[in-house]
Structure 1
Amino acid sequence: MVAQSLTAPSFASPAAAVAAFGAMQGQDLPGVLASAALRSTGEAVAAVFDDLAERRLVRGYPMRGTVFLMAAEDLSWVTALCAAPSLRAAAARRHQLGLDEEQLGRARGIAEEVLADGPLSRPELFEIWDAAGLAPKGGRGYHLLFTLIADGVAAYGPWNGSEQDVVLVEQWLPGIPGLAERFGGERLPAVAEFLLRYLTSHGPATLRDFAWWTKLTLGEIRRALPLIVDRLETDGADEPSYWRPGLLDEAQAQARASSAPLLLPGFDEYILGYQDRLFAMSATHHSRLVPGNNGVFRRTVLIGGRVRGTWARAGRPGRRSLEIEEFEPITDAARKRLAARFAAFPFAGD
């Protein structure tokens, strides 16, 4: 919790928090905006909207075929480093959607032309593709857009009041460094940089955690470790964990703060940033957090770093209330603290 800046917001801005993490899983858009706010401003989601509008934050598909919130300056090099496996997997499924390379090329050309004039919402882009005969319904539009984003052509940029508009990377983020500009085209120092950010923001964590998180190979990760290991502390176990220097002292100093009740969004890195989530919950509670193991993570109630239940936002705009499903009994005092957290939570909309 201390490493992830959950005991006390420690970053100057949401963009700084996301950059320190390397990326934050972002398929639940309001949730990831809250995750960034909770680690920086603590309450003000408006600061995240500002970072999106000012081109400091974007969402892309850098790894695992999953959308992540990222610092804009990291989008291109991280995507080039990690996205190839998900692009290959997408290409293998393309025929199932009745798509081919010619259609993908047309979709790219149209997107580059219309987005050169500025951001468009996803429905607006899909309407343009539909008028061009690309029939984006039935998952085809999503596949085309995923491919353009994972290829580094497009990204999700400014908040439009309900979601992020689609942007052309070269127009919205001119000059952001790619793998060649940032690391001379060398993969190993890029892996080392990404690994260092992960371990300093998520540690104690293992190399296997990072391999699961990125889908980079363990061999490449192990070759990169010597480039940054002197900037970390470790437990020296057979499969060692690593963390940022001084973290254990910080955790001891913040022991009381780390026991406080917290409300986290559904796909927060505290839950999804590790190969094994059972440090924070029992296997039984995990099955309740992800009903049917369907990949949809509910919002979590944390007390002392452990998942004690899930929560929801009930009622109508202007009359919202906190609903808690307890996995374990929660005291009245903790409920009062959680109510205060709910009142201050950085929601992205009504």
Structure 2
Amino acid sequence: MEARRYIGGAERRARLALRQRLAAGARAAVPEQVAESLVALHGTDPATVYLAVGARLADPAKTVPETERALYEDRALVRMHGMRHTVFVFPAALTAVVHASTGPAVAARERSALLTHMAAAGAPDAAWLREVEESAPAALARRGQATAAEPARDEPRLREQFVYGAGKSYEGLHTVSTRLLKVLGAEGKVVRGRPLGSWTSSRFRWALAPEHEELDTAAAQAELLGRWLTACGPATEADLKWWTGWRMTEVRRALSAIGAETVELDEGTGFVARGDAEPAPGPGGPRAALLPAPDPTAMGWQHRDWYLAPELRPQLFDRSGNVGPTVWWDGRVIGGWARRPDGEIVWRLLDVDGVGREARAAVEEEAGRLRGWLGTARITPRFRTPLEKELVA
């Protein structure tokens, strides 16, 4: 039996710096290239998309106009629900794959939860909801893009409200339009559109989803997993299950379908895309980066010890497991950063092992790049972490 090739932490970090476009020589010309390299950009916090792109563009001054062009004019990038029912920004060509691989199962859970909550509140039944959801996309289409409230002017039933969690500490009044649009989003029928405010705003309009073909679930899962392994491999089965949110049987089926190759990692058995087990070239050039919360690189794997020392986690993660703004050098996390209300970019190194003058100078240069294109924009991460709060204070 042929021995598996061992890929150690140093080689994994070199791959990461190159393929995740953290090395200066690997930076992209346009946001579409960034999204293609990372497969998905985290989109729950709207600023994350821009900050993740800006950290990887050769000319960060283009970050805001070029990302807005890709999202809202060319629609080459699409903001939609994806793996683990998380909001991501995907290349438009990948939306059908993402939806077929993950959407139906998520949509079924969302629909069931909505019906359960409505029934508990004495709201209209499933037949009523089916009628409303058939008319809601038509109302949205007439407006092109709209907030959750605007289509209700054409379809008054969308204004129906019900009490969620009556008698509980989290009791609240929910509107059918808001909840139903989330279900339709999981079903691949609607997507997030242009925000009402600036690029940091979380008040999004909704729009009809781009037309796409309906794909076979297993084939779509194989396609998505293959793309992710090419960008992020090697990875363990646990990494893949965590990132996709799929059942382990689905992960293993997809690995078999793409002919993934097994390798040996410090965590045990890992997988790479077919033909990707050979040594990878080094990234070359400066390798410093200031990545946002929660950047797809920092959140890409369940097992993170090879790029993030365990003792750093309490300061860099919130209580729900979301990573805050991080400072990177040579493919590993060495600290965190924040932007103060006066616009100053401040950072602190937490892991200084092997971090010398060159690294500190490169980090300061990245802070200057970030400060330069942000201008007067205010950045407050949705996921606040201990170190970020301390730096801001």
AA at the equivalent of 1:342: A
**Within the alignment, does 1:153 sit opposite 2:189 as a pair?**
yes
**Within the alignment, does 1:165 sit opposite 2:205 as a pair?**
yes
Aligned identity (percent) is 23
1: CA distance between counterparts of 2:240 and 2:131?
A: 34
Aligned pair in 2 of structure 1 residues 41, 57: CA closer, same or farther (>3 Å)?
farther
**Within the alignment, does 1:187 sit opposite 2:217 as a pair?**
yes
2: CA distance between counterparts of 1:188 and 1:158?
A: 32
CA contact (8 A) 1:2 1:247 kept: no
Give CA deviations for 1:131-169 in whole Å, capped at 9, x if unaligned. 853238745454322111001110013455344431112
SS of 1:84 mapped into structure 2: helix
2: CA distance between counterparts of 1:190 and 1:213?
A: 15
Choose the corresponding residue for 1:298, options 296, 315, 324: 324
Question: How many residue pairs align between the two structures?
Answer: 330
CA contact (8 A) 1:107 1:134 kept: no
Aligned pair in 2 of structure 1 residues 273, 125: CA closer, same or farther (>3 Å)?
farther
Instruction: Specify the alignment match of 1:183 in structure 2.
Output: none
CA contact (8 A) 2:44 2:87 kept: yes
Deviation at 1:14, TM superposition (A): 1.7
SS of 1:152 mapped into structure 2: coil
Instruction: Please say which of residues 77-86 and 195-204 is displaced more in the overlay.
Output: 77-86
- TM-score, length basis structure 1: 0.80
Instruction: Specify the alignment match of 2:68 in structure 1.
Output: 49
Instruction: Specify the alignment match of 1:340 in structure 2.
Output: 365
Choose the corresponding residue for 1:7, options 23, 46, 67: 23
Instruction: Specify the alignment match of 1:249 in structure 2.
Output: 280
Unaligned runs of 5+ in 1: 180-185
Aligned pair in 2 of structure 1 residues 282, 87: CA closer, same or farther (>3 Å)?
same
Aligned pair in 2 of structure 1 residues 168, 294: CA closer, same or farther (>3 Å)?
same
Choose the corresponding residue for 1:235, options 255, 263, 284: 263
**Within the alignment, does 1:223 sit opposite 2:239 as a pair?**
no
Instruction: Specify the alignment match of 2:97 in structure 1.
Output: 77
Unaligned runs of 5+ in 2: 1-16, 163-171, 378-393
Deviation at 1:255, TM superposition (A): 5.0
Choose the corresponding residue for 1:310, options 321, 336, 344: 336
Give CA deviations for 1:182-213 in whole Å, capped at 9, x if unaligned. xxxx3333222111100011112133322221
**Within the alignment, does 1:65 sit opposite 2:85 as a pair?**
yes
Instruction: Specify the alignment match of 1:34 in structure 2.
Output: 51
1: CA distance between counterparts of 2:29 and 2:256?
A: 30
Deviation at 1:2, TM superposition (A): 1.9
Choose the corresponding residue for 1:203, options 233, 253, 256: 233
Aligned pair in 2 of structure 1 residues 117, 130: CA closer, same or farther (>3 Å)?
closer
Aligned pair in 2 of structure 1 residues 333, 222: CA closer, same or farther (>3 Å)?
closer
Instruction: Specify the alignment match of 1:96 in structure 2.
Output: 117
**Within the alignment, does 1:17 sit opposite 2:61 as a pair?**
no
Choose the corresponding residue for 1:119, options 124, 129, 145: 145
Give CA deviations for 1:274-300 in whole Å, capped at 9, x if unaligned. 122232223231121113x23443111
Aligned pair in 2 of structure 1 residues 127, 296: CA closer, same or farther (>3 Å)?
farther
SS of 2:298 mapped into structure 1: helix
2: CA distance between counterparts of 1:130 and 1:308?
A: 53
Instruction: Please say which of residues 192-201 and 115-124 is displaced more in the overlay.
Output: 115-124
AA at the equivalent of 1:82: T
Aligned pair in 2 of structure 1 residues 241, 339: CA closer, same or farther (>3 Å)?
same
Aligned pair in 2 of structure 1 residues 273, 131: CA closer, same or farther (>3 Å)?
same
CA contact (8 A) 1:103 1:134 kept: no
Q: Please provide the CA RMSD for this pair.
A: 3.2
**Within the alignment, does 1:266 sit opposite 2:293 as a pair?**
yes
1: CA distance between counterparts of 2:246 and 2:106?
A: 11
Give CA deviations for 1:46-87 in whole Å, capped at 9, x if unaligned. 211110121111111122111111112222332122123323
1: CA distance between counterparts of 2:309 and 2:178?
A: 35
CA contact (8 A) 2:100 2:217 kept: no
CA contact (8 A) 2:29 2:59 kept: no
2: CA distance between counterparts of 1:281 and 1:301?
A: 11
Aligned pair in 2 of structure 1 residues 315, 336: CA closer, same or farther (>3 Å)?
farther
